[in-house]
A and B are shown apart, each in its own frame.
Chain A
Amino acid sequence: MPDQVIRRDAGAVKPAMMAYAQTAPVDWPVPSPSRRVRRIRHLRLVLMDAAQLNELLLSVARAGDRRAFEALFAHFAPRIKAYLMRLGAGAAQAEDLAQEAMLLVWRKARLFDPAKASAATWVFTVARNLRIDALRRERRPEFDSNDPAFTPDDEPAADAQLVRADEDAKLRDALRRLSPDQAAVIEKSFFAEKSHSEIAAELGLPLGTVKSRLRLAMAHIRAALGTAS
């Protein structure tokens, strides 16, 4: 069964991958990670899809799989570097920090929960936190779901792992379909580290307009994730 899945991925036909992501069992069997990962690794010049990235990250988490890590590095390190440069880091600094971020991915991989986020989303949070820590020299306060004072979510998690695995493709599509106005506000929110009043001044818009565009954009994003409520 897993081999069959890999062969379908090897076809690199996007709709087939999406079909796989939608029909895959929630608890993916990982009987022989290294062999499967080796095959995935050969495909890395093909755009890796979210399900493959999840599997690679799980192989790192469960088995300390270095081959899987190399494939993750090839995919994510250049994107993290680009993300850091987009936020104002110099090329050399971004290069160093992208390596640091990948080291954190290796060390923290066991904290990755595929039921909560896709690999790309999880790696984004690692890179974001490292940037805050290293470039702003601030701490990143985060809640702790094991804390006795934490209020758990009563709603059953509607989104299983297979939905998460597919979310990146859906989101990229949703982001592409945003109006240019909404896309500009989302982009600036993630890549400009500016307050919304600064964004408003830059775009020559009233603050209320920036906020409503951001909310509309987020509504589209939640709809794409199936979490609109």
Chain B
Amino acid sequence: MSVTHHPAEELLVAYAGGAADEGISLVIATHLALCPACRRMVASAEAAGGALLSGMAPAPLGNTALKNVLSRLDEQAKPFEPAPSARAAIFPEPLRSYLGGDLERVKWISVTKGISVKPVFRYGTTRVQLIRSMPGAGVGVHSHSGEELTLVLEGGFTDVTGHYLRGDLQTADPSLTHRPMADEGGPCISLAVTGARLRFAHPLVGLLAKFYGF
């Protein structure tokens, strides 16, 4: 099944150009593993990067630079790490390496009825985490104080903006107030990066979120 919800093109350009931070890059790269169409967009943007590099006015290096590098060509480089082998992985690379394994290795932290999380990493106010919602469970009506990307990896969810399945990516921004609801039939597992804490519309849910820290 092909992916129907894609990241905005400017996010793909930010990833290709190297401006996107690690959290956003992890979500984008994991989406790219599942989406040939976006990979082609990124390849075009990287080609533009190559052309910009070619067009740069050269900044000459010192006289010894080439000699320095030539003298190091025989240094034994670290061998490339072999990708962890997996037969039928749920989590594509690069996510699987960040987690140190596939779905069965994840230790979930229960947050509220039907919802568990697994922090992947965090820095500053940004956090990247896996979210597992059991069928019919929802996060509650909420809006966002910053941009939030959610990539579905298993199952699906529905909100006012549409239906999201494996590989689909939702971009939420402060203009979106939604109540995502996991599909019936199995848990919905997604990878989310948030730049700021969720602002919950319902004070009780907000309190819960504050308590559980998601």
Contacts and interface: CB of A to CB of B under 8 A. Distances in A.
A216 to B, nearest CB: 10
Contacts of B68: 99
Contacts of B160: none
Contacts of B86: 147-149
Contact of A77 (B14, B21, B61, B90): B61
B56 A175 contact: no
Given A144-B83, A153-B36, A175 B52 contact: yes
Given A95-B65, A124-B49, A124-B50, A218 B44 contact: yes
By DSSP majority rule, is chain A's interface helix, strand, loop, or mixed? helix
A121 B50 contact: yes
By DSSP majority rule, is chain B's interface helix, strand, loop, or mixed? helix
B55 A175 contact: yes
Contact of B40 (A83, A143, A194, A227): A227
A211 interface: yes
Contacts of B50: 117-118, 120-124, 167-168, 171
Given A99-B65, A211-B10, A118 B47 contact: yes
Interface string B107-137: 0000000000000000000000000000000
A155 to B, nearest CB: 7
B58 interface: yes
Interface in B30-71: 30, 32-36, 39-41, 43-62, 65-66, 68-70
Nearest to A131: B18
A215 B10 contact: yes
Nearest to A218: B9
B152 interface: no
B167 A151 contact: yes
A79 to B, nearest CB: 5
Interface of B: 8-10, 13-14, 17-19, 21-22, 25-26, 29-30, 32-36, 39-41, 43-62, 65-66, 68-70, 72-73, 77, 83, 86-96, 98, 167
